[in-house]
Amino acid sequence: MCGIAGIVTANGAPPDGAALDRLSAALAHRGPDGNGRHVRGGTGLIQTRLAIIDLEGGRQPIFDGEGRAIVANGEIYNYRELRAEFPQDRFATESDCESPLHLYAAMGPAFATRLRGMYAIAIDDPVADQVVLARDPFGIKPLYLCEGPFGLAFASEAQALVAAGLVEARPDPRALAEHLQLQFSTGTETIFTGIRRLAPGETVIIRKGKVVETRDLAALPIDETEPGDLETLLYRLDDILMEAVDLHQRADVPYGLFLSGGIDSSALLAMMARLNPRPVLAFTAGFPGTRAHDERERARALAHHFGARHVEVAFDQADFWTLLPLVAAAMDEPVADYACLPTYKLAQAARAEVKVVLSGEGGDEIFAGYGRYRAALRPWLLARKMRNRGTFDGTDLFRVPLAGWRDGIKAAERDADQPGRTRLQMAQAVDCADWLPNDLLTKLDRCLMANGIEGRVPFLDPIMAAFAFRLPDGMKLKRGLGKWLLRQWLEHAAPPARPFDRKHGFTVPVGEWIAARPEIGDLVAAQPLIAEICRPDAVRHLFRHAGPKTGMACWTLLFTALWHQRHVLGHPVAGDAFAMLGRG
């Protein structure tokens, strides 16, 4: 796991060395174990390294015999199998990131079709005089682009392109409206005008500072249903889950698990316990003294059942006000998902003992765990559109209405409507297009990388995801419950998980904490961005009357104000949320 960045100039002149320095410095937190650089003609690549595999020899860039160079962020889980396909080649390292370079030499830009992992990759090819960028199909690892008179630049985080002076930190109004209503933005355009994401599964070819060719690799299949009765499918699931977890444990450093006590992380614990001779190290967050559902008791029982070493991490109101500026600073893409708070503190706790954690992201999307999926199976005229209501619907806060905030979701719905897909699969595909990469996986990436931790998501292994997505609807949803097949498996593999209990849903009591300190609303209302788009008196009134129905709106404005302080105004983190916002 690392940070990567680069510049490809339009005129072939060497890229600005100072800009490369600034890119490297802005990504240093992603790679505390070293950094590397490669310059050839008008191309410059940098990498900051978090050493996970081949700790001593896996430094990047890595070169082949013809001068091609690769920098990569991520893990290629099938790297050993890929290496075996090139017995005639001389490999310079034992790194998992070297195999894609040899694969590219053999296949060209189609190399990504053979990778099983999470990745954002840049390859400089002097033979074809081009640079190739590729991102994994689910968008687990990020990559951002900007263009200008200088040519094209890319980086693992959007903030690095701003810090390098290659683009201004100017919020895009449409993306800002999406962020406020959805807590994330959709598509490839980001919150920053002039910066776009490389789409999940996208490969681009760059020559002379311009994208000249684009290829797409789909995350989800469009073909026949997975055949088999319940017993057959349970055996298949067991085999696929075991292989996926086994591959995701490949590392030369200690690893652990984020254990929520829910279906997904419980399944991972059950399989990790089967595969590991030593006790699994599991981390669980809880919110003592609040009305939020506390998952620690169930997680504790599961850990005891499997002999895991269990670390419980309490997150309280003091943590909320203290850590929130750090979280907002880490989230250069302003994902206002309150789960980023415990994720960040879990990563702080985990980094003392491990460099890799497995996590259950993706399980709800591929096995159909959300309640909104049940609506997708209702008769068509009664089915609700997904995310039809925004956070601020029914409020009168904004000077100008938040227009067009659902346009990106509509586009994803159109793209998901493929022949042969059920309505349930279309709903899953919509989530996999935007919610998963642009909220859940962005949250995991930024919160963990800010703490020098690599996050791995076995449920998004391509073989696992294809199997789950192809399941008949009745193997996903039955008797009002999602993830039916996975629950059946877990009932036998981990009875203490109580997989057929009704799901509580994961909540963080941000509304309670804000209601206890309503004076923060005065500071939020006075922030430049909030005052520009909202009526300050309405904002102050909202915070003074914070409650269950308005807590999410208050949280979103508070997070947005802190994000704007750090990533647009450029203020460093200094003190808690009150201190940050009190600076104006």
Active site amino acids = 2
Is the C-alpha dihedral spanning 297, 552, 265, 413 positive or negative? positive
Nearest-CA neighbor of 300 among 261, 346, 354? 261
Quote the CA–CA distance of 174 and 159 in Å, as a whole number: 19
Cis-peptide into 342, omega within 30 deg: no
Helix 423-430, helix 407-416: angle, nearest 10: 140
Task: Identify the H or E element spanning 281.
Answer: strand 281-286
Quote the CA–CA distance of 268 and 274 in Å, as a whole number: 10
Dihedral, 366, 369, 374, 377 alpha carbons, nearest 10: 20
Buried b (16+ CB within 10 A) or exposed e, 218-230: ebbbeeeebeeee
Classify 289 in phi/psi space as left (phi over 0), alpha (psi -120 to 50) or beta: left
Residues 6+ apart with CB under 8 A from 180: 390, 391, 392, 402, 405, 556, 560
Phi, psi of 255 (to 5 degrees): -135, 160
Q: How many other C-beta atoms can be found within 10 angstroms of the C-beta atom of residue 44? A: 24
